[in-house]
Structure 1
Amino acid sequence: MEVEPRLSLDELKRLERGEKDAGQAKRLRTVILAMEGWTAPPIAMAVGLSRRVCQQWVYRFNAQGLAGLDDQRGRRPTSPLTSEQEAEIRRRLDAGPTAEDGVCSLRGVDVRRLLKQEFGV
């Protein structure tokens, strides 16, 4: 596999040694082995990934540099509430149930009802 010379081999090895995230270290190792001339099947066996995944990491490194090796699975969860609304609902939950709630403790269904009534969410 061809690797764009974005960083030197020594720099990549230094980054791999200092990396605390095992997944990121594995992705760095994949690029290092590709730079050393290994092909995808031996790299896959060495790092414990599929051949295709190894190729994808090298392609992403070639396109984006180190940023391409970041784990980008899934989306970050976003709240439908603003920070002010979140603070308000927290205060409401900390205060406990009111007489209008008709319950002695707030459960998940009660919280969902409150969110719908007060914020339309």
Structure 2
Amino acid sequence: MTTESMHLSIFIHRPCADVYTYARDPRNLPAWANGLSSAIREVDGRWVADSPMGQVTVQFAPANDLGVLDHDVTLPSGETVYNPVRVIPDGEHSEVVFTLRRREGMSSEAFRQDAEAVAADLARLKQLLE
């Protein structure tokens, strides 16, 4: 059960379609999402990532024209964490919004550290795409 959410966002001076296409490709995760993946490979049709939490699987929502980058991350424990993410057009630019959810039993400090990791990942995405 979610007890708290935080919305982290960043504006990127690139068209929404460019940002969405890059961020949605799992092969690009190690370049910008260090909080999730330092390496990733496709195994039997699933994306398996080496993460700070151990080996995880990542599954994105089906490709769409709405900028929905939601993805499930299945942790080594078997728990699946749903991560809502949107790429929102802003004229010729984009805003990426990540909804970070505090999981049951997660300390305030762990939630803060998660938020810092997501913010750093979004900053790397911006740096790569601008």
TM-score of the superposed pair, with normalisation by structure 2: 0.28
Larger Rg: 1
Structure with more contact order per residue of length (Cα contacts < 8 Å, sep ≥ 6): 2
Larger relative helix fraction: 1
Larger relative strand fraction: 2
